[in-house]
């Protein structure tokens, strides 16, 4: 009897050992798949999150809101200083507004003189943040816009003022926004008065690094940084932030977007323009036919 | 042969998995989207280690694999690496179960912290070898420190509030094996 029982246990143990080995092997295979065919693995992951997250969002929202209220409550402690600070800031802003209005008028006059045609204004869709990445090693967020809303990989995300990041991974009802602060984020930017090109690369801090600057002598801390639109990934001239020079002897960017209290974001609809591969295809047939009714049709988009 | 035991382990396993789901859920809540240097402690690791010494039948390896694969999937980690490291770590822990049962708390605490450190290092090495971006050392250090500090608290809750203790001498499991 006892011997039988021991035999059973021994058998169970060896089965267990085999299963454990198989599990480890499968995990290894999954990692290999993730490493080799990363886009497909991430697509699988985003499809899964797309199923799950919108269903549990109702439970997340109240908790996040309560934590924000608590944070706001803590800030009541220094309400007087904040008030003073805001007044000073408002005063400065009024001066700037005055300057902006004057410039606006001047620009309108000059444009009128030149008869310049401006590109169409960028349109945007607004979305709500569903979740963050969940670990301090990745900086991203899931938003409630997806394929259903026409969102496409690579579009830019902004808050009201500055650039936040780009769409990377689109599900049916949700999409992931990789922030500028993420380790993997690389964005081509222009540093404004000197028009130097640089790459803004995230390093998991609130101050992403400005890499590959041609001539650092031409850059002052406080210079404006905007997207350059190189590569056609991003629309040009979206505000990113200001240059700062940090103690590790690097130029970094103080981001204009406020990551701390982010609830909504704007996704900029953007197409990099259609490249015309063969011009004779566009006009050739129309010109060869002598039909007077065919008039050249200009497509407004592009 | 009247000491028939009801098999309630699956309920405990379900509760453990639900607890892990709750932890993932709290990780995902967007409290702030600014990057921080302070990661949350790996509470689930503490719970699993504490349970492995006390009631190993609640945490078979496949439950651990399931939980940590969930973490990998939902928290945007490289798929499978951290799970495999955790499985390895918990197997080492399980193999030395009887040693820790006879020992007092300080030894257990110290060993848990060393085990977690080794797991982090193993994970880091695997990622570095396969040329995946590895997390910053300071962040990992904080995760290690917080997890180590969390262990006594988790242990206190498990032993004094949930009242899961080490099995008494002469207690037997479902199949009559030594616990």
Of residues A67, A140, A134, the one with CA closest to residue B42: A134
- Is the predicted pLDDT of residue B122 greater than 90, yes or no? yes
Interface test with A, best of B29, B76, B82 (most A CBs within 10 A): B76
Q: Does B178 touch chain A (CB under 8 A)?
A: no
Q: How confident is the model at residue A276 (pLDDT cuts 50, 70, 90)?
A: low
Spell out which residues of chain B touch residue A138, defining contact as CB-CB under 8 Å: 75-76
Q: What is the pLDDT of residue A294?
A: 46
Tokens read off for A216:
């650092």
- Is the predicted pLDDT of residue A247 greater than 50, yes or no? yes
Q: Which residue of B has its CA nearest to A6?
A: B177
Q: Which of B30, B34, B62 sits opposite A131 (nearest CB)?
A: B30
- Closest-CA distance, A265 to chain B, in angstroms, reads 12
Q: Measured on CA atoms in the order A96, A98, A104, A106, is the torsion positive or negative? A: negative
Q: Is there a domain that residue A148 lies in? A: yes
Number of domains in chain A: 1
The two most distant CA atoms of chain B are separated, in Å, by 62
Structural domain that includes position A220? 124-268
Q: What is the pLDDT of residue A1?
A: 46
| B42-100: pLDDT as tens digits | 999 999 999 998 888 889 999 999 999 999 999 888 999 999 999 999 999 998 888 88
Interface predicted TM-score (ipTM) of this complex, two decimals: 0.85
Range scoring the smallest mean pLDDT among A223-227, B125-129, B166-170: B166-170
- Other CB atoms within a 10 A radius of the CB of residue A282 amount to 11
Q: How confident is the model at residue A116 (pLDDT cuts 50, 70, 90)?
A: low
Q: Which of A19, A24, A135 sits opposite B76 (nearest CB)?
A: A135
Spell out which residues of chain A touch residue B69, defining contact as CB-CB under 8 Å: 27
Residue with more model confidence, A207 or A290: A207
- Is the predicted pLDDT of residue A284 greater than 60, yes or no? no
Please give the C-alpha separations between residue A114 and each of A110, A121, A149, B76, in angstroms, as whole numbers. 6, 19, 38, 51
- Is the predicted pLDDT of residue A24 greater than 70, yes or no? yes
Q: Is there a domain that residue A213 lies in? A: yes
Spell out which residues of chain B touch residue A132, defining contact as CB-CB under 8 Å: 28-33
Task: For residues A256-283, give the mean pLDDT.
Answer: 72
- Please judge whether A132 and B33 are an interchain contact, meaning their C-beta atoms are less than 8 angstroms apart: yes
CATH number, position A250:
2.40.10.340
Q: What is the pLDDT of residue B1?
A: 43
Task: For residues A233-259, give the mean pLDDT.
Answer: 88
Mean pLDDT, chain A, whole residue set: 82
Q: Which of B24, B80, B175 sits opposite A27 (nearest CB)?
A: B80
Residue with more model confidence, A69 or B14: B14
Q: Is there a domain that residue A136 lies in? A: yes
Q: What is the pTM of this model?
A: 0.78
Backbone torsions φ then ψ of B166, nearest 5 degrees: -70, 145
Torsional class of A204: left (φ above 0), alpha (ψ -120 to 50), beta (otherwise): left
Q: What is the pLDDT of residue A119?
A: 58
Q: Does B70 touch chain A (CB under 8 A)?
A: no
- Is the predicted pLDDT of residue A289 greater than 60, yes or no? no
- Closest-CA distance, A237 to chain B, in angstroms, reads 24
Q: What is the pLDDT of residue B178?
A: 57
Q: What is the pLDDT of residue A243?
A: 92
Q: Does B63 touch chain A (CB under 8 A)?
A: no
- Closest-CA distance, A202 to chain B, in angstroms, reads 11
């Amino acid at each position: 009897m006892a011997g039988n029982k021991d035999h059973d246990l021994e058998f169970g143990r060896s089965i267990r050992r085999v299963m454990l080995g198989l599990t480890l092997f499968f995990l290894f295979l999954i990692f290999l798949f993730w490493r080799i065919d990363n886009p497909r693995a991430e697509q699988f992951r985003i499809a899964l999150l797309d199923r799950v997250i919108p269903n549990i969002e109702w439970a997340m929202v109240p908790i996040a809101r309560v934590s924000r209220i608590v944070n706001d409550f803590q800030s009541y402690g220094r309400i007087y200083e904040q008030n003073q600070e805001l007044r000073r800031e408002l005063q400065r802003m009024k001066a700037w507004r005055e300057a902006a209005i004057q410039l606006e008028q001047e620009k309108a006059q000059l444009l009128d003189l030149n008869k310049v045609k401006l590109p169409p204004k960028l349109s945007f869709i607004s979305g709500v943040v569903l979740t963050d990445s969940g670990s301090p090693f990745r900086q991203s967020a899931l938003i409630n816009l997806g394929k259903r809303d026409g969102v496409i990989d690579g579009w830019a995300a902004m808050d009201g003022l500055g650039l936040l990041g780009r769409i990377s991974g689109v599900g049916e009802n949700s999409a992931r926004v990789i922030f500028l602060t993420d380790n993997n984020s690389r964005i081509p930017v222009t540093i404004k008065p000197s028009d130097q090109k640089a790459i803004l690369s995230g390093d998991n801090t609130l101050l992403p690094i400005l890499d590959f600057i041609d001539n650092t002598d031409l850059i002052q801390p406080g210079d404006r940084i905007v997207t350059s639109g190189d590569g056609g990934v991003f629309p040009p001239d979206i505000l990113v932030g200001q240059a700062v020079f940090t103690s590790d002897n690097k130029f970094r960017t103080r981001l204009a977007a406020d990551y701390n209290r982010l609830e909504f974001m704007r996704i900029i609809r953007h197409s990099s323009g259609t490249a015309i591969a063969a011009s004779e295809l566009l006009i050739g047939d129309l010109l060869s036919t002598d039909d007077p009714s065919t008039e050249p049709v200009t497509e407004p988009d592009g | 042969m009247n000491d028939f035991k009801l098999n309630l382990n699956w309920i405990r396993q379900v509760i453990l998995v639900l607890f892990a789901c709750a932890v993932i859920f709290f990780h995902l809540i967007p409290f702030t989207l600014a990057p921080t240097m302070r990661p949350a402690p790996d509470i689930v690791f503490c719970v699993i280690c504490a349970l492995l010494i006390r009631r190993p039948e609640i945490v078979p390896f496949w439950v651990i694999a399931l939980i940590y694969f969930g973490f990998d999937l939902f928290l945007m980690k490289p798929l499978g690496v951290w799970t495999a490291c955790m499985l390895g770590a918990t197997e080492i822990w399980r193999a030395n179960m009887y040693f820790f049962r006879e020992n007092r708390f300080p030894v257990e605490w110290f060993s848990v912290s060393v085990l977690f450190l080794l797991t982090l290092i193993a994970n880091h090495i695997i990622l570095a070898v396969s040329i995946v971006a590895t997390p910053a050392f300071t962040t990992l250090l904080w995760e290690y420190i917080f997890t180590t500090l969390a262990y006594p608290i988790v242990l206190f809750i498990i032993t004094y509030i949930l009242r899961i203790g080490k099995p008494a001498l002469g207690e037997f499991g479902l199949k009559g094996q030594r616990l």
